[in-house]
Amino acid sequence: MPPLAATGSGLLPMLAVVLPVLAMVVALPLGARGAERMTIALLLPGFLLALGTAIAVQSSGAPAIHLLGHWSPPLGLAFRADGLAAAMLLAAAIVIAAVALFARGGFGVRSGAPETRTAFAFWPLLLALWGGINLAVVANDLFTLYVALELLTFAAMPLVCLEGKRETIEAALRYLMFALLGSVLYLLGVALIYGSAGTLDITLLSGRLGLEAPVIVAAALMTAGLLAKTALLPLHLWLPSAHAGAPAAASAVLSALVVKGSFVILVRLWFGVLAATPSLPAMQILAGLGAAAILLGSAAALAQPRLKLLVAYSTVAQIGYLFLMFPLVAGMPDSETAAKAWTGGSVQAISHAFAKAAMFLAVGLMAARVGHDRIADLAGTARHMPVPLLTFGLAGLTLMGVPPSGGFAAKWLLLSAAIEAGQWWWALVVLGGGLLTGGYVYRVLSVSLTSSGALAPPAPQPPGTPDAIALGLAVLSVALGFVPLASFGLVQVGRMGLAP
């Protein structure tokens, strides 16, 4: 492929990366209160930068590109926001904004109040996570992506054990070990790719690599490393305890965004870097693992006694859907079917981000008010906390894939692409996963809707802003299903691996 040329709109995604990182650095001397105010002040500009990127990409039909210091690859570094990146930037800006506003209750600092440890850490970590996910979707250099992965890990790990309980520290250590192993394997692959092609720029690499031994070894190492970070079964072991143990606001961003960063990099690897390399068997393995994750993860969620663990196992399952797109896109990249599968995977990533953030926030509200999250003892919560329960239910619709919802659009696209491609077995997995998801969502709702519980329910509380924020995210995840399918064309812009 020819080298990239800068576009005028390229500075939008660039600022979307730089501003949160700068704010994270400045947050340290400013202290918790300053960091909180700066984060809140950055939410709207951050959203507008993402929206601007999406509009520019959609209207020009081409990626927004920025060349750092005017140096073009292979020597320099480029940011390349294609349609998928723009959509992820938007999703990240919305989820971060919702979580930041939600978290003011728990981590907000009143003027004059002493700086608490959790507030001191939470705001910069959230900013770093935002910058990290933005970098992971727009960076076009394999080593810059490594730095993005580390930024995400270093921000996510302390969030897991922010409350300082022993089991959360153990979960954080397990997570860190998986994540570090994942980064190191990824980096090893990067070394071999550079040795094979002499560049790390994804656009330049695209089409340059053949089926040589170093490339195959590199692809295997990088895929394994990224799967460990994305928590695809069987490398999911760290996820449930880490995501369930974190504070609700942290769980929301961990499940909604952090695992998507490494997923997008995996997409770049197979459909960008390795676009010219026939890889259907590898793609079938990835989708097979995804199918296993959907079925086993949902079944495990069904069996969980605790609500937060149920939601965490649901993440394990929903991540599986993302991988169904791989063999469907790789089969015939230029076909209508591949485009469908690509859109399906992208919409799944985004609608799951909204739904799962909503669900974790709602569950956090419920657990905080009832004082526990044992599902069996949730009877009566519907009457006293109607809004969080409604949020849980709406988000559940998206996860199940019930029409009309974002999850339905995603799963319908994946399902019909599977049938068109003659790989009908993935369609069965989508349907089976939907049924199991329905099962665990129903289990929570049915207990909560029983009028009297064994324990006296807490005093009814009027729903507050946090309830509304969680509900807003859930509504958004459903509303994606009302968006006409044509407007999802955004995620097709700048898709790599297509015939020129």
* Binding range to another protein, per CB under 8 A, among 97-105, 163-171, 358-366, 467-475: 163-171
Is residue 287 a contact point for another protein (CB under 8 A)? no
Size of the site for another protein (CB under 8 A): 77
CA distance 214 to 191: 10
CB of 166 to another protein, least distance (A): 5
Is residue 261 a contact point for another protein (CB under 8 A)? no
Binder among 68, 299, 368, 449 for another protein (CB under 8 A): 68
Tokens found for residue 60: 């020009």
Binder among 107, 120, 321, 412 for another protein (CB under 8 A): 120
CB of 7 to another protein, least distance (A): 12
Buried b (16+ CB within 10 A) or exposed e, 312-325: bbbbbbbbbbbbbb
CB of 192 to another protein, least distance (A): 6
* Binding range to another protein, per CB under 8 A, among 88-96, 212-220, 282-290, 429-437: 212-220
Q: Do 338 and 327 meet the contact criterion of CB atoms below 8 Å apart? A: no
CB of 158 to another protein, least distance (A): 4
Is residue 110 a contact point for another protein (CB under 8 A)? no
Q: Do 351 and 477 meet the contact criterion of CB atoms below 8 Å apart? A: yes
Q: Which is nearer to another protein, 29 or 371 (CB)?
A: 29
Dihedral, CA atoms, 448, 449, 455, 457, nearest 10 degrees?
Answer: 90
* Binding range to another protein, per CB under 8 A, among 180-188, 314-322, 411-419, 484-492: 180-188
Is residue 146 a contact point for another protein (CB under 8 A)? yes
Strand 64-67 with 78-81, pairing: antiparallel
The DSSP secondary structure of 276-336, one letter per residue, reads TS--HHHHHHHHHHHHHHHHHHHHHHHH-SBHHHHHHHHHHHHHHHHHHHHHHHHHSTTSH
Tokens found for residue 91: 């999703």
Tell me if the bond preceding 278 is cis, omega within 30° of 0: no
Q: Which is nearer to another protein, 115 or 334 (CB)?
A: 115
How far are the Cα atoms of 29, 82, 210, 412, 495 from residue 500, in angstroms, in the given order? 50, 16, 19, 28, 11
* Binding range to another protein, per CB under 8 A, among 189-197, 306-314, 324-332, 463-471: 189-197
Question: Residues 401 to 460: which contact another protein by CB under 8 A?
Answer: none
* Binding range to another protein, per CB under 8 A, among 69-77, 281-289, 407-415, 458-466: 69-77
Question: Residues 352 to 391: which contact another protein by CB under 8 A?
Answer: none
Tokens found for residue 65: 């590109």
Q: Which is nearer to another protein, 214 or 404 (CB)?
A: 214
Tokens found for residue 353: 């981000």
The set of residues, in sequence order, having a beta carbon less than 8 Å from that of 464 and lying 6+ positions away, is none
Q: Which is nearer to another protein, 58 or 118 (CB)?
A: 118
Binder among 84, 101, 125, 362 for another protein (CB under 8 A): 125
Is residue 117 a contact point for another protein (CB under 8 A)? yes
Q: Do 273 and 411 meet the contact criterion of CB atoms below 8 Å apart? A: no
Q: What angle do CA 425, 431, 433 make, to 5 degrees?
A: 100
Binder among 9, 134, 140, 183 for another protein (CB under 8 A): 183
Is residue 181 a contact point for another protein (CB under 8 A)? yes
Tokens found for residue 233: 């079964």
DSSP element (H, E) containing 68: none
Binder among 46, 52, 63, 74 for another protein (CB under 8 A): 74
Is residue 2 a contact point for another protein (CB under 8 A)? no
Question: Residues 18 to 57: which contact another protein by CB under 8 A?
Answer: 18, 21-22, 24-26, 28-29, 31
